[in-house]
Structure 1
């Protein structure tokens, strides 16, 4: 009945099982009636047979029926839309196909196929030829499987998916025609559709198929259940659309998006190079290496022509990532030196700045093998790597190195892959160059800061000291934290910890200026509160001179405004400790028995911001106590408990400290501060000592010039008991004579002579005067004014410091005999 086409042995015509067939004689009388026609129009066979079919149509369609019968008698057919009349009188829109046929007795007849056009109708409203074109010639792959998921039909478009023509598929399952794909996942969805009747639309399968065994492809599949007239499942038909291009475009965008999030999270060159390799595997390649010029790793400017005068070009392996573990260490060692032949593709890419792609390596292409540090070479073919791309790392017009992409089992790199690699590397190149520039600045700042910080802590007997400094991580930048230990007269020592706001070279320079100022003020032996007052004035003047005093938030790094500092003076003669702070945490004290406390120290304002005057406190420390001075970065990181304060965490760390000071200092920083902190941290720990009573000798003198001779003899006797040599005795006799005479002549009140024998011999004279003497150079005929000039010539150093009950003039001379 009617025409049909065959392809690959499977029938490709329309299935008319859902149409109601009628048989008419050549005059248009119904000669054959079916149950389907009765369900559609309501007339039984007894009523319909022998009746004109035109009587079952609306008037206009009844008139057309005569013309259609004449066309069929001439051998033609017709398909179109009509309106039939139901037995109860309501109209039934139908799709009608009229075609010539042969009755069972061999007489001519007319076949009429009726399909309802109402909602949910399953009839055809187009000709069979049109629908055959839609299904058979559809560029979308279509297939039908039975209830056992075996192929019963497929169109030609499905052949592009692999698995052979439709004839060879018949009776097979997906796993039989696509052995490389995950057939279980596909058949699982087919079974779900068979069991539930629910359509599965837009299922994306990503994997390898027979049509592209070396390349990952993507196909969009939709599944629909086929049912018979009773609604029972017969099988599943599904459609397949190749969406590989869309899938790859989505992958490329995802890869570039991941690169934007992942690459450049730090300002470390090696880390950034490794991030580039990590992003590219496995999304783009099986094995990736990142090689950089040595100058880039040092933070220096890349040399434009690093290639002249050598047979090989050395680079440094800065990053790598591989899907395989069988690559030799010479290929994957980070930091190893690799070298390439002068006329090799990598060197050409390095010199020209252009990329290079090879779909399939051959023995002639491996002469550019990477040279191992031990002189051996491993060719890329020996590593099983087949396809390669080389993309130079270029930023701001300068080539920094190379990124090489390899594939072992995937399909060869194509031009789209090269464009993606160039886009990926160009984004990473900016991050690498930023890291290089930061490395240069950070190294310069570190050199500057380390040159400004104490290279070694000075020798002195007042305290045992240990210090630890941890710079901020590369994202935050180097800060301006600092510490210092300054020996003072009379065996005393000044301990200083400070912090300059900001980061980078400017902060380091500001820190250097502040530290120099502190040492200068310490040299004139000012009390702690006066030292801070002078520093405050200095910061204010510097801000006014630089024009950044107003609106400066401290983040620029070049100003001392907002700096913090704590200044401590410890006297080992009596254990007194005087300190003052400017916007800085108070020191902690670890007692000899291990208990930890914090000094109740009034907090003055940060330097340069103005506020109330600075206040000092004085505490007495037992011998063996440990002073802990630190910047605020030590307390900035949370502990195990959310509510635990920084002081409590410091207390716990100090309570468990070892007896040895240096390892304890490092252990406290490690316990409280991460390896790469966001802010600089400086910690200074000083364990106090006391001078023995036999190292100090003191005498109260009456303000009478006659006691000068007694003072000389008393000093001589003490030096003899200490076993000092005659030269020291002679010098000390002159110093005592001049200093005591000067005190009696120019001051009033009490006079006290004190000798301190430590690393040096210190001679001190206390008087009640409030004016400081000054050195002058007398003329030849002057009778006086030579006392302090003589003192300055005899002593290694001398000075004046003020105390609550007057002033002390002191002179210090070295000892040739070490103390016992």
Structure 2
């Protein structure tokens, strides 16, 4: 019975049986296993075990088998690769188990080795690993070209020897993918290439854009959106249509092509071309099905990235339309805008010309991304511009902006439950600074940590100590504080919507070396130097930056007088204004209107204000008249009735001046007017 059982196992068992001596040479083996189907047992008796099974990793397996001989510990479930002869050769997987054989006296006789063909199981596991790798890696970024690089990195060399991804060029720019069949003149960009070979050969470089030659398996796959497994032969009739690709395939010894369209909802996004070369087995039906799943996941990632690219392009366009094209600058302050490229359209900058030759500098950033962030940014920028027209102090303006942002956040919270915007918390940071060239100071308030960097003429760098107020729309009611600091002539101020930029400029020794002659260089050069000084790992996003340089305001450009609190001061004020405007060569009509304006403003200050009273003229891009007193009463415009003997002063002023207003200080108020000068309009 024992002899019969042994004979039956060696002649008919579906698993491989091998008897090996102590030198790992074959004494007897089962001829039913695939490596033995074209050989006889006599051909392999006496030869090494690796020849009987045609094992690829023969050195490692021999080490394990010799360890079994020495220790007696069985080797179980070891999977090895074997290569069968053929054109092309076939690769199989076997699970081997090795047991040491002993004589009745305990002498080592050799090994009994079984080999079970587990090729299908291992290939299934390999496909599963590739699919999991693609699902884990592909689609992590919102760049459609990077999705192709992630795919080829996941499939080479585990699934294919060469992988190529080509995407419709318009899809990379965010456009809708064309419906199949793809027009023959549609350009595709090669976005990714990966080869497991030592000296890879590709027909076209990554980044090349051109249409696919037709008819080829590639053009056909984009016509009917079906995958194809194509055995590659030199006589294939489609090879002359694409000679560069045919030469690359020949040089890489590719024998099988698996071409899969990147498709989504009957639209063609691109193409995945997978090759197997050399001793690798050809693609089969299971490989084709796996490639379809890989391409479907990649197409979804590319389409998501395409949608983001499109939304970002639209949001960036909206942002550019909402932001000023060029800064408003007075004679005493030269400003330039800088946008650090990124993906956040919620950042904004602004410069606002105020009365008294002052300039407001504004930088802010809204949370979120896309069109919603750009739209909210535009609303907040409009609110800041509207509030600045009232000459509010920076802390008061920031408090009112905080209330407006809270209302916008409440509107967002009331959106329907299904609206994804409702789940995005609205917050914003903003800094508002007012530069006054006549006193050489800057007054600032901030929501969030957006303090500027001040580069002084002596090349030292400081950061004004401004208490950071709560971010806008956070629900915190903490008051906003102001800080006033000096800005000497020749100083450079850098405001940024991302505090990492200003923090880097402040703590590094870069800014002094960044612009050792920053008082003489152009602001555009300074902006470039700031960009060059930012490290790659700073991750500042799309920061909005203002670079402003303080220039001297001519002492001859303004004049001020202290007036007595008596009616004769009106005539005195007119006389001094007339003489000063004559010295400035102001035209007669403008000078006459200015005298009337000053008469009315001084009269109002004498009647309703409190001494001391001060008159100031500023000759800048406009002619500014200011009357300052210490009274708390605010003037307001009204239309006098026919029988009224007074009440027409401010009405007259509003008709004569281009603009007028009132700004309050801790010690009183200032009523100002602006008149345009000939040649200064616009």
Distance 1:143 1:496, change over 3 A: same
Distance 1:787 1:371, change over 3 A: farther
> Which of 137, 140, 158 does residue 262 from structure 1 map onto?
137
Aligned residue-pair number: 670
**For residues 748-790 of structure 1, what are the alpha-carbon distances to aligned partners after superposition, in whole Å with 9 as ceiling and x for unaligned?**
4232221223333322222334344344566889765555455
Distance 1:301 1:656, change over 3 A: same
**For residues 187-230 of structure 1, what are the alpha-carbon distances to aligned partners after superposition, in whole Å with 9 as ceiling and x for unaligned?**
33333333443332332222534368634322222333334444
1:566 match: 431
2:117 match: 242
Quote the offset at 1:650 in angstroms: 4.2
Quote the offset at 1:559 in angstroms: 7.2
Asked if the contact 1:501/1:555 (under 8 Å) is kept, the reply is no
Q: Using the alignment, how far apart are the partners of 1:790 and 1:371 within structure 2?
A: 85
Q: Using the alignment, how far apart are the partners of 2:639 and 2:425 within structure 1?
A: 40
Quote the offset at 1:585 in angstroms: 4.1
Distance 1:605 1:330, change over 3 A: same
Q: Using the alignment, how far apart are the partners of 1:435 and 1:814 within structure 2?
A: 52
> Which of 329, 354, 363 does residue 226 from structure 2 map onto?
354
1:451 match: 321
Q: Using the alignment, how far apart are the partners of 1:611 and 1:254 within structure 2?
A: 54
Q: Using the alignment, how far apart are the partners of 1:647 and 1:270 within structure 2?
A: 33
**For residues 56-113 of structure 1, what are the alpha-carbon distances to aligned partners after superposition, in whole Å with 9 as ceiling and x for unaligned?**
xxxxxxxxxxxxxxxxxxxxxxxxxxxxxxxxxxxxxxxxxxxxxxxxxxxxxxxxxx
Asked if the contact 1:180/1:209 (under 8 Å) is kept, the reply is no
2:263 match: 394
SS of structure 2 residue aligned to 1:799:
strand
> Which of 264, 268, 273 does residue 404 from structure 1 map onto?
273
Asked if the contact 1:338/1:370 (under 8 Å) is kept, the reply is no
> Which of 377, 383, 396 does residue 517 from structure 1 map onto?
383
Q: Using the alignment, how far apart are the partners of 1:741 and 1:368 within structure 2?
A: 95
1:580 match: 445
Asked if the contact 2:142/2:309 (under 8 Å) is kept, the reply is yes
Q: Using the alignment, how far apart are the partners of 1:576 and 1:206 within structure 2?
A: 79
Distance 1:390 1:434, change over 3 A: same
Q: Using the alignment, how far apart are the partners of 1:207 and 1:633 within structure 2?
A: 61
Asked if the contact 1:147/1:235 (under 8 Å) is kept, the reply is yes
Q: Using the alignment, how far apart are the partners of 1:764 and 1:738 within structure 2?
A: 12
Distance 1:447 1:557, change over 3 A: farther
Q: Using the alignment, how far apart are the partners of 1:251 and 1:174 within structure 2?
A: 26
Asked if the contact 2:322/2:378 (under 8 Å) is kept, the reply is yes
Q: Which stretch shifts more, 768-777 or 257-266? A: 768-777
1:296 match: 171
Quote the offset at 1:485 in angstroms: 1.8
Distance 1:259 1:330, change over 3 A: same
Distance 1:649 1:694, change over 3 A: closer
Q: Using the alignment, how far apart are the partners of 2:111 and 2:254 within structure 1?
A: 43
> Which of 484, 490, 500 does residue 634 from structure 1 map onto?
500
- The alignment status of 1:537 with 2:537, answered yes or no, reads no
1:333 match: 206
Asked if the contact 1:287/1:407 (under 8 Å) is kept, the reply is yes
Distance 1:454 1:378, change over 3 A: farther
**For residues 250-274 of structure 1, what are the alpha-carbon distances to aligned partners after superposition, in whole Å with 9 as ceiling and x for unaligned?**
1111101111111111111111122
**For residues 625-667 of structure 1, what are the alpha-carbon distances to aligned partners after superposition, in whole Å with 9 as ceiling and x for unaligned?**
44443445527xxxxxxxxxx9588423665552246566566
Asked if the contact 1:574/1:690 (under 8 Å) is kept, the reply is no
Q: Using the alignment, how far apart are the partners of 2:34 and 2:407 within structure 1?
A: 85
- The alignment status of 1:658 with 2:514, answered yes or no, reads yes
Q: Using the alignment, how far apart are the partners of 2:641 and 2:549 within structure 1?
A: 49
Quote the offset at 1:440 in angstroms: 1.7
Q: Using the alignment, how far apart are the partners of 1:575 and 1:139 within structure 2?
A: 96
1:688 match: 550
1:736 match: 598
Q: Using the alignment, how far apart are the partners of 1:417 and 1:360 within structure 2?
A: 17
**For residues 596-631 of structure 1, what are the alpha-carbon distances to aligned partners after superposition, in whole Å with 9 as ceiling and x for unaligned?**
444333443333425244332333333344444344
Q: Using the alignment, how far apart are the partners of 2:246 and 2:47 within structure 1?
A: 51
> Which of 620, 629, 641 does residue 767 from structure 1 map onto?
629
**For residues 21-76 of structure 1, what are the alpha-carbon distances to aligned partners after superposition, in whole Å with 9 as ceiling and x for unaligned?**
xxxxxxxxxxxxxxxxxxxxxxxxxxxxxxxxxxxxxxxxxxxxxxxxxxxxxxxx
1:54 match: none
Asked if the contact 2:180/2:268 (under 8 Å) is kept, the reply is no
2:311 match: 441
Distance 1:627 1:678, change over 3 A: closer
1:101 match: none
SS of structure 1 residue aligned to 2:178:
coil
Quote the offset at 1:739 in angstroms: 3.5
> Which of 658, 663, 666 does residue 801 from structure 1 map onto?
663
Distance 1:771 1:413, change over 3 A: same
**For residues 441-474 of structure 1, what are the alpha-carbon distances to aligned partners after superposition, in whole Å with 9 as ceiling and x for unaligned?**
222222222322333322333334444444665x
Q: Using the alignment, how far apart are the partners of 1:431 and 1:297 within structure 2?
A: 12
2:80 match: 205
Asked if the contact 2:347/2:544 (under 8 Å) is kept, the reply is yes
Asked if the contact 1:500/1:511 (under 8 Å) is kept, the reply is yes
Q: Using the alignment, how far apart are the partners of 1:711 and 1:161 within structure 2?
A: 118
1:103 match: none
**For residues 300-322 of structure 1, what are the alpha-carbon distances to aligned partners after superposition, in whole Å with 9 as ceiling and x for unaligned?**
222325745xx544322232222
> Which of 569, 572, 583 does residue 707 from structure 1 map onto?
569
SS of structure 1 residue aligned to 2:43:
helix
Distance 1:177 1:394, change over 3 A: same
Q: Using the alignment, how far apart are the partners of 1:763 and 1:288 within structure 2?
A: 74
Asked if the contact 2:453/2:505 (under 8 Å) is kept, the reply is no
Q: Using the alignment, how far apart are the partners of 2:310 and 2:497 within structure 1?
A: 26
Distance 1:613 1:227, change over 3 A: closer
Quote the offset at 1:323 in angstroms: 2.9
> What's the TM-score once normalised by structure 1's chain length?
0.73
Q: Which stretch shifts more, 154-163 or 494-503? A: 154-163
Asked if the contact 1:634/1:682 (under 8 Å) is kept, the reply is no
Matches within 5 A, 1:466-481: 466-470=336-340, 478=344, 480-481=346-347
- The alignment status of 1:171 with 2:49, answered yes or no, reads no
Matches within 5 A, 1:784-799: 787-799=649-661
Higher radius of gyration, 1 or 2:
1
Asked if the contact 2:412/2:422 (under 8 Å) is kept, the reply is no
Asked if the contact 2:326/2:337 (under 8 Å) is kept, the reply is no
Asked if the contact 1:542/1:559 (under 8 Å) is kept, the reply is no
Distance 1:329 1:417, change over 3 A: closer
Distance 1:229 1:656, change over 3 A: farther
- The alignment status of 1:492 with 2:358, answered yes or no, reads yes
> Which of 322, 332, 335 does residue 462 from structure 1 map onto?
332
Quote the offset at 1:689 in angstroms: 3.6
Using CA pairs below 8 Å that are at least 6 residues apart, which structure has the higher relative contact order? 2
